[in-house]
Amino acid sequence: MKYQLVVFDWDGTLLDSAAAIVQSIQAACRDLGLAEPDDARARHVIGLGLADAMRHAVPDLAPDQFQAMIDRYRFHYLAGDHKLTLFKGVPAMLERLQAAGHILAVATGKSRMGLERALDHSGLRPFFQASRCADECHSKPHPQMLEELLLEFGVAQASTVMIGDTSHDLLMATNAGVDGLAVTYGAHPHDHLLEHRPVACVHSVAELDQWLAINA
């Protein structure tokens, strides 16, 4: 077993939520009479903690509008998050990894409350032994989430892989000294992900599952 610890991002990696996040950011801007970021700018912030994401998506946001922007984003996202679906093949992949003896964890830009809600809605809670969220650690690409998971399980850097759909995930992996594996079906485009030198760049959950079966 090369990778004892397999860490997944959530949005855009396990859950097909990138479009909903983009639309919620844009709707929050409309509510507040702010200029909407285009799809590319809104997609780029996916994976960051909510505070950092709002700052990057709406750089002209005034300090006195910051909390209102977060509140309106949450309103729009939570209104429809129960309708979001996992990418096809995710439960079967996690079941196989768990059966093979891998430790599975989540490192996400979601809040703890948001991740707990998502774990319950998705039915994936039994597969994960630990998780770290952006409101209890530094936001990606800071390595704290991965460093804490390595320490919790006593796993070496060389025995850990971080799987995600954004450059934030891959940079966090690099900063923590672990391998990063990119998926292209989420928020960030293929060419942008390749710039960060992942150990592999896969285009579907089926391809991810196959890569892990062979290489992990």
Instruction: From the candidates 11, 81, 169, 179, give the one annotated as an active-site residue.
Output: 11
Q: What is the pLDDT of residue 50?
A: 83
Count the alpha carbons within 13 Å of 7 in the hemisphere toward its beta carbon: 30
Judge if the upstream peptide bond of residue 141 is cis by omega within 30 degrees of 0: yes
Is there a contact between 200 and 212 (Cβ–Cβ < 8 Å)?
A: no
CA 40 to mean position of chain CA atoms: 17
9 belongs to the catalytic site: yes
> pLDDT tens across 176-203, in order?
999 999 999 998 889 999 999 999 999 9
Tell the burial category of 186 from Cβ atoms under 10 Å away from its Cβ (0-12, 13-18, 19+). buried
11 belongs to the catalytic site: yes
Per cent of the chain over pLDDT 90 is 84
Determine the Cα–Cα distance for residues 86 and 13; give it in Å rounded to an integer. Answer: 9
CATH assignment of 18-82, among 1.10.357, 1.10.150, 3.30.460, 3.30.50: 1.10.150
Output the pTM of the full model: 0.91
Helix H, strand E, coil C: the string for 98-152 is: HHCCCEEEEECCCCHHHHHHHHHHHCCHHHCCEEECCCCCCCCCCCHHHHHHHHH
Amino acid at 45: V
Per-domain residue ranges of the chain: 5-16+85-215, 18-82
> pLDDT tens across 7-36, in order?
999 999 999 998 999 999 999 999 999 999
Question: What is the CATH architecture assignment of 5-16+85-215?
Answer: 3-Layer(aba) Sandwich (3.40)
State the CB neighbour count (10 A cutoff) for residue 104.
Answer: 17
> pLDDT tens across 109-150, in order?
999 999 999 999 999 999 999 999 999 999 999 999 999 999
> Quick check: do 5-16+85-215 and 18-82 share a fold?
no
Instruction: From the candidates 9, 81, 165, 179, give the one annotated as an active-site residue.
Output: 9
